[in-house]
Every structure is written in C-alpha cells, then in structure tokens.
Chains A and B, each alone.
Chain A
Amino acid sequence: MTTAPTPLAGQSAAQDDAVALHADQVTKVFPGTVALDHVDFNVYRGKVNALIGENGAGKSTLMKIMAGVERPTGGELLLDGKPIQLRSPLHAEQLGIGIIYQEMNLCPNLSVAENIYLGRELAPTGLVVDKKAQRTQTRALMQRLEHAIDPDTLVSDLRIGQQQIVEIAKALAQDVRILIMDEPTSALSASEVEVLFKVIADLKAHGVSIIYISHKLEEITQISDYVTVLRDGRLVAEARNADIDVPWIIEKMVGKNPANLFHKGHTEVGGEILRVEEITLPRLGGGFAVDHVSLTLRRGEVVGIYGLMGAGRSELFECLAGVHPDAGGQVFLEGKLLPAGNVSGRISEGIVLVPEDRQREGLVQSLSVAHNVLLASLRNYFNGLFLAPRKEQTAVTEMIKGLTIKVADPGQIITSLSGGNQQKVVVAKGLLTSPKILLLDEPSRGIDVAAKSEIFAIMERLAAQGFGVLFISSELKEVMAMSDRILVMSKGKITGEFLREEATEEALVAASAIGHGAAENGSKLATAATHEIITA
C-alpha cells in the first residue's frame, strides 16, 4: 500500500509486487465518445493481471494502447518506471509486449510455421528463410502447448480452437515479457483451456507478466492474481484476487448502470402478426445454422432472443430478412405466406433487419447521415423522374428529431458520429421503410449507456405503436428487462421459451447450454457460462 502508484485510495492492492507496466492517467477520445477517461492500470511482474468490464467499458481500447495499436490522447505508459511511447505494434513487440487478439490475426493461406514467424522469419543470412529451423522450433512450441499440430499445416485447415493455439504459440515465440491475452479461451474446449492455464503458469514462473481479458468470471477467479475492473471508460477498482469473489466483481462491473435499470413497461399485446415455420439454413460443412425453427410474434410484442455466440440467432434473422433466398421454411406475415424473397422483397413486405455489425453491414461510411437514413426507402421519395428533395428532407428531419440523433448537420459524413448515434441512424433507416416487423440484432452493442436506454425506449415505443419487435441480445439482464417473451437458442434450435414473469437467469442459461459440452464436464461449463452471461 505504500509505494503503489495507483491513486485510488482504498482500492490499491499493490503490496510488494513490482509493477512491470503502468498506464498512467491514460485517456483515449474517439469521435463522439471518450473510450478511456484517465485510467491507471498496473501490470504486476510475473502475475496474471485480469482486466474486466462490460462491453464498451474500454478494455479493448486500453489493450490496444498497451500493444501499440492505438496511441493515447492523454496520459502515458511507463515500462519499468520509464515512460515509453509506442509507435507501432512492432515497436511494442521489440520492447517485449506481445498480444494475442480475440479475433484471429493469422494468414489462412500460410502454414502454421510461416504464421508463427511472420514478419520475423528465421533467416540467418538475412536473405533466405531457414524453413527447417522454423519447422523444428514450431514443433517444440507445439509440444510445449501439448498440441500435435504439424508445422506445415495450412492455418485454414485448422479448427478455430487450434488456430487460437497457433496464436498463442506465435506470442510465445517472441520471448515476450508482457503478454496481453484478449479472451483467449472463447474458442477453446475445456481440455484446451486446461492446457492454456498450464502454459500461463509456466510463463509466470519465467517472470512473464500477463494481462488477461475475459468475460468468464469463473476463469478469472481461478487464474488471476490481480483484478482490475473498468466501467464506462473509467477505472472502478483494482484488487488482489485473493481478497475478492465473483459477486464483488459483478457489482463493480455493473454498478448502478442505467441500462440495466431500464425496464420495458406494459404494452397491449394484440393478435398474431408473424408466424415462422420450420426455418432451416444448412451450414457449410454439415449441420444446420438454423435448425427447423418455428416461432410466432404478436402485435405490440417485444420478443428477445437469447443465446451464446454462434447459436444461430443472427442467421435466423437473416433468413427472415431475405438474406438467404435458399433457406427453407415458411414465413407468414399477417396470415399471408410470403414468397421466398430477397432483401428488397422482404423490406417492401414489411420486414426489416437492423444488422449486428454496424460498420460492416449497417452503414455506408462514405455517405452522409441523411443519405444513410434514406437508403432503404428511396422509392418513397421518387416521383418517377427524380427524388423530391423536400420530401427527403422532411423524412430525415423527422427521424433525427424522433430518435434524438445528435448531429450538427444531416449532410455531415456518417463516420463523424458517435457509436450510439450511428446505431440510431441504422434504426432510422429501417423505420423509414415503414416496417411491420423490426428485427434488431444486438441493438445495444458497442454503444454507451445513455444511448442504450434510448434505443430501448425506441423499441418500446415502436411496440406500443403495434410493431412486432424481435431482438437478439447476448446480455442476460437486457433480455430480461426488455422482452415480453424470451426465446433461447442453442445450436440452431430454439431450446427454451419463457414469459417475462417466469424467466430466471438460471433457466435462460441452462437453455442456452443445451446441446453444448455434452461430452465434457457439462455442469461445470454451465456454471462458467452463467457467470459469463451475468457479467455481459
């Protein structure tokens, strides 16, 4: 408590462990949002330093700053007490800071060995790559990780879990002193996780400091030495793992979060508006992404679809929105069977999708706010010869006002808006098509708390107007607060249906795990999942 550089009185846990890397009052400002607000973060030498927080709390931004990917707007990093300025990921690597990303950063067209030595090939003469040496060393690394992956295998031929192992091997090959691991276990099976933990223990013994980011609280309490909690870009708490427990972490993470307090009020639920029967979507490589799903939706009803990643929820929405014209099954809107249509067909029939990935699927980055808002409903302003500017303007102004989109000028380019406002633009675009059914895929992902409650308020209002609203969320509290009815999906099937009154967190989690880990330790996995979800 005496020499610790952390200014948070009473929260400091540092006692006699040395700080290898210290983030000092680091601030990062993005267009429209403050991702990190004067954050102090300690990485203790030879320890596992867990970094946790909800989505959008600033974990990944902090991680990227420490890995040299992003530069802080304010504050600095101190490596062994000396201030450093990371110019690039390569520079960070040279200083001994390695990172394993959550999303794979491997070249699928190269072999395992080539990937591991990518950018720092073993070339004794400086010209010719010593493939043999690379192969031998890769084999040694794989042995250490207890995985018999042939160094010459193409990465594209590996399972996701194996690819993760290659990522880890890649970091190990660089003699790192500080290793950042961003959700390293998200794609691993239980036995693979055990191997990873062994490796982590081994690294610790060699004095490597580890920054461990995960949503799985069970894991964190199991492996970490120090725990740091971020919330809304601020440091909330730092503690020794020995002094805390899971409920403490949850409390710190969630805090008095207005998004979690938002509750859907009661709305009048009318007759059936949408009936879906036996929707199927085959998956590449066998099986079904959406496996004979049937559901109904009533007027004014908000139905949440909960499940783990890869449960087939987004694919179900895509089928409904006409993205996969070859999907099987029938869709009845207001009792009428819809033809197997494409996206524009479904939009004109009244089903519109607000996709999950705003940047990749929701927005056209090169267009203005106004043109993005209008994109899906252009025919409404077309008088046969040209687009009527006045009609367009009225529609845009109404939407900006109705959804309180914060924008100086509708002609402004979309990328200058904050995440929450961009999300509202995507919703506005959908609403202008005058839909009967609104499909929202993770509508609250990556936006700040205030914007979250606004999005929820919009959903509630739409339901009250007689829309049918289906939304996907991976956040348990959100689903429970916002839905009249909750469907749970797992492995492409609907595995649970709950009215709001009867839904409990345990029941939802149990339903979401059906079909998972049957061969492995099922109950353990389910509890781990419980904690992962509560935190989300």
Chain B
Amino acid sequence: MSETTAVPAKKPNSITWTDVQQLLLRGRAFIALILVVVVFTIIAPNFLAAANIEIMAKHVAINAILGIGMTFVILTGGIDLSVGSLVGLSAMIAGMLINQGIVLPQLGIIIYPHTWLIMFVAIVAVTLMGGISGFIITRFNVAPFIATLGMLYVARGMALLINNGYTFPNLVGRPELGNTGFPELGAGSFIVNYSIWIMIGFALVAAFVAQRTPFGRQVYAIGGNERASELSGVKVKRVKLLVYMISGFCSAVVGLIIASQLVAAHPATGQFFELNAIAAVVLGGTSLSGGRGSIGGTIIGAFVIGVLGDGLVMVGVSSFWQQVIKGLVIVLAVIIDQIQARMQMRIALQKQQELG
C-alpha cells in the first residue's frame, strides 16, 4: 500500500477521463458563462464592445451583491426572501433623508444630514432589519422562510408608507444644505462604474471571510450539521443572526446604488430581486440545504444570469422566452450539481478504497 513498488501501476500524473469529467463539472458555471459569451458574441455583433460590457457588469453587480449576502444565509441552511423589500426600504430611507430631511416638529426645525451620513443611516437601519429577521429565527425558532417572508411584507409596507407610495424624485440635494453628491454613487466611475468596484470589493472580502475566518468555517458547519456544530462549541445563534445582518447590509447597499443610478427612490424598487439573488446562488453551485457552496460560484452565477438576460435582449428574443430560458438554465444547473456531488463522493470512496 504505502510501499513504492518498482513498477508503478498507474502513472500518478497521467490525466484520466474521470479527471477531465471532474474538471468540466467543477468549472461548469464558468464554462456556461464562456459558452453564453461566445454564443452572443457570434450572433450579436457589438456584444463585446467595452461600453456594452460595462453596462452588463453594472446589471450583474446588483444581483451579485445581493447574491453574496444570500450565499451566507443559504450556506447556513436558511433563506432570505426579504432582500428585495429591503432594497426598496433602503432606497426610500435615503430618498426621504435627502429630499425631506429629518423633521423635528417640536423644535420646528428640519435637519438635512450630509450625504455620507444619509447613506450610513440607511445602511444601519436596513442591516438592523435583517438582524430582526435573524433574531426572530434564532430566538423564537421560526423557520427562515416564514420569518423573512414576513419581513418581505413588512419592509415593503414600510417603504410604501414613507412617502405614501410616491416616489422621491430628483435626489440631487441642494448645495446650500450640503447634501449634494448622492447621484455620484450610481453615475460616478473610476475606470469603471463604482457599483462594479463595490461588487469586486464585496466579493473579495466575502470570499476571504468564508474561507479564511472562523466565522466562515462555522457558517459552513452549521449548514452541514447544526447539532454537531453546537456540540463543537459553535455559537449557532450568533452566527445565524449575523448572516441575516450581512444579507440586510448587502440589500441596503444595493438599494442605495439603484436609487443613486435612477436619481430617484421608488417604493417598488427591488421587487423580485430576492429570486434573482437566489438563482445566482443556486447557479453558482451552492446547495439550498446548506453547507456546500462558494462566493466565487455565486459571482459567476450572477454573471451567467446577467449576461444571458442582456444578451437575449440584444438578440431580440422576446421577454417571455427570456423567462422560459432563464428558468430552464437554473433547473439544469441544479441537476448538474447533483450529478457532480454524486461523482465527487464516488471518487472520494475510490481513493479511500485504494488505501485499504
């Protein structure tokens, strides 16, 4: 077994068909992305034009950032249905603070905070909303689906209440109040649009946190076996609370980006975004039952969805067909995922059998 025999039975560095299969399966999301890009490059002439790529990347950034938060939640075996509503709420909070300020009727004054402070307030408020979902889930043992479904309605209702269902238009601020500059977040760029940088930054930090910190390791462990994690000293409730706060934080940032890009805060902003985020996570190979998946996968998944969507528009496929195609791609991805999981198990068993 461990003795090296004179005649090696199998060259260790020869590539077998299983290796190739495994590589193809493991990189399937990436291969799918390349495939999609190649196909659209051929049929849509200016698909790969720099301007078009940036537009697509901006679209992708929205789903990718939400997907990052969602990945943490799903890795613990949970789900967050409230992200779309939280996006809307974040946008509306920012819109209100810019256009109306903070009204203090008792004192008869209105405070107009600085733009940075406005964004900070919106982010903290919405992150706390995520925290409330997490608290309800961990403290009262409510299923994540239900708790976040409740939050979906509550947050959307609050977004509508803020301005009676009306939009906050023209979020440019006024120089005399010192609250200008909000549109810069959506429109400004350093080589590429800021939102793309935010996505890259978030992805790098999140991937690092997931792989290289105790928190990340514990997120995976909880999704794999909550009871065993608890008996290993993992503070399960705290970790779970945190993942919903992370998801809330990501939603808040997306809300700000969208409001800034539109220079308006609309209370319906972000409707159904939770579904896109979940789709990106699942396409990226993260298991909905928790414990398996990666941030990198989610980013690629977001790109596949984004590129597919924009490409189909450019080619002129009807939006009805787009939905059909998107749905098929998501289900197909999960089927392939199952095949890969089974294959990986088989390979691991083979390795173990060779050990004797």
Q: Is the Cβ of A408 less than 8 Å from the Cβ of B352?
A: yes
Q: How far is the CB of B340 from chain A (nearest CB, A)?
A: 13
A32 within 8 A of B: yes
How far is it, in angstroms, between the C-alpha of A378 and the C-alpha of B221 when the chains are bound?
Answer: 12
A-B contact count (CB 8 A): 106
Q: Is the Cβ of B230 less than 8 Å from the Cβ of A408?
A: no
Q: Which among A321, A344, A433 has the greatest number of chain B C-beta atoms within 10 A?
A: A344
Residues of A within 8 A of B355 (CB): 406-408
Q: How far is the CB of A429 from chain B (nearest CB, A)?
A: 6
Across the interface, A375 reaches (CB within 8 A) one of B229, B235, B354, namely B229
- The stretch from B6-14, B32-40, B181-189, B208-216 touching chain A is B208-216
A375-B234 contact in complex given A360-B227, A360-B228, C-beta closer than 8 Å: yes
Residues of B within 8 A of A413 (CB): 344-345, 348
Q: Is the Cβ of A378 less than 8 Å from the Cβ of B231?
A: no
How far is it, in angstroms, between the C-alpha of A408 and the C-alpha of B227 when the chains are bound?
Answer: 27
Q: Is the Cβ of A408 less than 8 Å from the Cβ of B351?
A: yes
1/0 contact string of B202-241 vs chain A (CB within 8 Å): 0000001000111001101101110111111111000000
B114 within 8 A of A: no
How far is it, in angstroms, between the C-alpha of A344 and the C-alpha of B344 when the chains are bound?
Answer: 33
A344-B233 contact in complex given A386-B213, A387-B213, C-beta closer than 8 Å: yes
* Smallest CB gap from B348: residue in A: A416
* Smallest CB gap from B238: residue in A: A344
Q: Is the Cβ of B292 less than 8 Å from the Cβ of A382?
A: no
How far is it, in angstroms, between the C-alpha of A367 and the C-alpha of B291 when the chains are bound?
Answer: 8
Question: Which of chain A's residues 403-447 have a Cβ closer than 8 Å to chain B?
Answer: 406-409, 412-413, 415-418, 429, 433
Across the interface, A429 reaches (CB within 8 A) one of B223, B224, B232, B351, namely B232
1/0 contact string of A242-279 vs chain B (CB within 8 Å): 00000000000000000000000000000000000000
How far is it, in angstroms, between the C-alpha of A321 and the C-alpha of B232 when the chains are bound?
Answer: 10
B143 within 8 A of A: no
Residues of A within 8 A of B213 (CB): 382, 386-387
Q: Is the Cβ of B351 less than 8 Å from the Cβ of A412?
A: yes
Q: Is the Cβ of B228 less than 8 Å from the Cβ of A362?
A: yes
Total number of A residues with any Cβ neighbor in B under 8 Å: 42
Question: Which of chain A's residues 287-328 have a Cβ closer than 8 Å to chain B?
Answer: 321, 323
A343 within 8 A of B: yes
A371-B221 contact in complex given A363-B228, A387-B213, A387-B214, C-beta closer than 8 Å: yes
B331 within 8 A of A: no
A408-B354 contact in complex given A347-B233, A374-B217, C-beta closer than 8 Å: yes
B349 within 8 A of A: yes
Q: Is the Cβ of B217 less than 8 Å from the Cβ of A321?
A: no
How far is it, in angstroms, between the C-alpha of A367 and the C-alpha of B353 when the chains are bound?
Answer: 19
A417-B352 contact in complex given A353-B231, A375-B229, A386-B208, C-beta closer than 8 Å: yes
How far is it, in angstroms, between the C-alpha of A50 and the C-alpha of B231 when the chains are bound?
Answer: 39
Residues of B within 8 A of A366 (CB): 220, 223-225, 287, 290-292
* Smallest CB gap from A352: residue in B: B233
**In terms of DSSP, what is the predominant structure of the interface of chain B?**
helix
Question: Which of chain A's residues 357-393 have a Cβ closer than 8 Å to chain B?
Answer: 360-367, 371, 374-376, 378-379, 382, 386-387, 389
A355 within 8 A of B: yes
How far is it, in angstroms, between the C-alpha of A4 and the C-alpha of B227 when the chains are bound?
Answer: 50
How far is it, in angstroms, between the C-alpha of A347 and the C-alpha of B231 when the chains are bound?
Answer: 9
Across the interface, A32 reaches (CB within 8 A) one of B221, B227, B345, B352, namely B352
How far is it, in angstroms, between the C-alpha of A343 and the C-alpha of B234 when the chains are bound?
Answer: 8
* Smallest CB gap from A430: residue in B: B232
* Smallest CB gap from B215: residue in A: A378
* Smallest CB gap from B232: residue in A: A376
A31-B352 contact in complex given A360-B227, A366-B291, A413-B345, C-beta closer than 8 Å: yes
A364-B229 contact in complex given A413-B344, A416-B345, C-beta closer than 8 Å: yes
Q: Is the Cβ of A343 less than 8 Å from the Cβ of B221?
A: no
How far is it, in angstroms, between the C-alpha of A348 and the C-alpha of B235 when the chains are bound?
Answer: 13
Q: Is the Cβ of A378 less than 8 Å from the Cβ of B218?
A: yes
Q: Is the Cβ of A387 less than 8 Å from the Cβ of B217?
A: yes
Q: Is the Cβ of B220 less than 8 Å from the Cβ of A407?
A: no
Q: Is the Cβ of B231 less than 8 Å from the Cβ of A367?
A: no
Across the interface, B231 reaches (CB within 8 A) one of A321, A365, A386, namely A321
Across the interface, B228 reaches (CB within 8 A) one of A364, A387, A433, namely A364
Q: Is the Cβ of A343 less than 8 Å from the Cβ of B214?
A: no
1/0 contact string of A129-165 vs chain B (CB within 8 Å): 0000000000000000000000000000000000000
Across the interface, A367 reaches (CB within 8 A) one of B208, B220, B344, B354, namely B220
Residues of A within 8 A of B348 (CB): 412-413, 415-416
How far is it, in angstroms, between the C-alpha of A366 and the C-alpha of B292 when the chains are bound?
Answer: 7
Question: Which of chain B's residues 89-128 have a Cβ closer than 8 Å to chain A?
Answer: none
How far is it, in angstroms, between the C-alpha of A389 and the C-alpha of B290 when the chains are bound?
Answer: 24
Residues of A within 8 A of B214 (CB): 378-379, 382, 387
* Smallest CB gap from B229: residue in A: A364
Q: How far is the CB of B171 from chain A (nearest CB, A)?
A: 37
Q: Is the Cβ of B349 less than 8 Å from the Cβ of A361?
A: no
A367-B352 contact in complex given A344-B234, A433-B233, C-beta closer than 8 Å: no
Residues of A within 8 A of B220 (CB): 364, 366-367, 371
* Smallest CB gap from B217: residue in A: A378
1/0 contact string of B54-78 vs chain A (CB within 8 Å): 0000000000000000000000000
How far is it, in angstroms, between the C-alpha of A340 and the C-alpha of B116 when the chains are bound?
Answer: 45
How far is it, in angstroms, between the C-alpha of A92 and the C-alpha of B60 when the chains are bound?
Answer: 53
Q: How far is the CB of B17 from chain A (nearest CB, A)?
A: 20
Residues of B within 8 A of A367 (CB): 220-221, 224, 291
Residues of A within 8 A of B232 (CB): 343, 347, 375-376, 429
Q: Is the Cβ of A416 less than 8 Å from the Cβ of B351?
A: yes
Q: Which among B232, B287, B349 has the greatest number of chain A C-beta atoms within 10 A?
A: B232
* Smallest CB gap from A378: residue in B: B214
Residues of B within 8 A of A343 (CB): 230-233
How far is it, in angstroms, between the C-alpha of A412 and the C-alpha of B353 when the chains are bound?
Answer: 13
Question: Which of chain B's residues 321-356 have a Cβ closer than 8 Å to chain A?
Answer: 344-345, 348-349, 351-355
Across the interface, A323 reaches (CB within 8 A) one of B208, B231, B344, namely B231
How far is it, in angstroms, between the C-alpha of A30 and the C-alpha of B229 when the chains are bound?
Answer: 26
Q: How far is the CB of A79 from chain B (nearest CB, A)?
A: 31
* Smallest CB gap from A416: residue in B: B348
Q: Is the Cβ of B218 less than 8 Å from the Cβ of A386?
A: no
Q: How far is the CB of A412 from chain B (nearest CB, A)?
A: 5
Q: How far is the CB of A69 from chain B (nearest CB, A)?
A: 20
1/0 contact string of B247-268 vs chain A (CB within 8 Å): 0000000000000000000000
Residues of A within 8 A of B208 (CB): 386
Residues of A within 8 A of B218 (CB): 375, 378
How far is it, in angstroms, between the C-alpha of A159 and the C-alpha of B122 when the chains are bound?
Answer: 55
How far is it, in angstroms, between the C-alpha of A102 and the C-alpha of B218 when the chains are bound?
Answer: 35
Q: How far is the CB of B144 from chain A (nearest CB, A)?
A: 18
How far is it, in angstroms, between the C-alpha of A417 and the C-alpha of B233 when the chains are bound?
Answer: 24
How far is it, in angstroms, between the C-alpha of A416 and the C-alpha of B213 when the chains are bound?
Answer: 26
Q: Which among B230, B287, B352 has the greatest number of chain A C-beta atoms within 10 A?
A: B352
* Smallest CB gap from A348: residue in B: B233
What would 22 A/B residue contacts be, using CB atoms closer than 8 Å?
A31-B349, A344-B234, A347-B232, A355-B228, A362-B228, A362-B231, A364-B291, A365-B225, A366-B287, A375-B217, A375-B221, A378-B217, A382-B214, A386-B213, A389-B212, A406-B355, A408-B354, A412-B352, A416-B345, A416-B349, A417-B352, A433-B233
Residues of chain A having any CB pair with chain B under 8 Å: 31-32, 321, 323, 342-344, 346-348, 353, 355, 360-367, 371, 374-376, 378-379, 382, 386-387, 389, 406-409, 412-413, 415-418, 429, 433
Since A361-B227, A366-B223, A366-B287 are in contact, a sample of 4 more A-B pairs with Cβ atoms closer than 8 Å, ordered by chain A residue number, is A321-B231, A343-B230, A371-B221, A412-B351
Q: Closest 9 interchain pairs by CB?
A: A366-B291, A366-B224, A364-B224, A344-B233, A416-B348, A378-B214, A376-B232, A386-B212, A347-B233
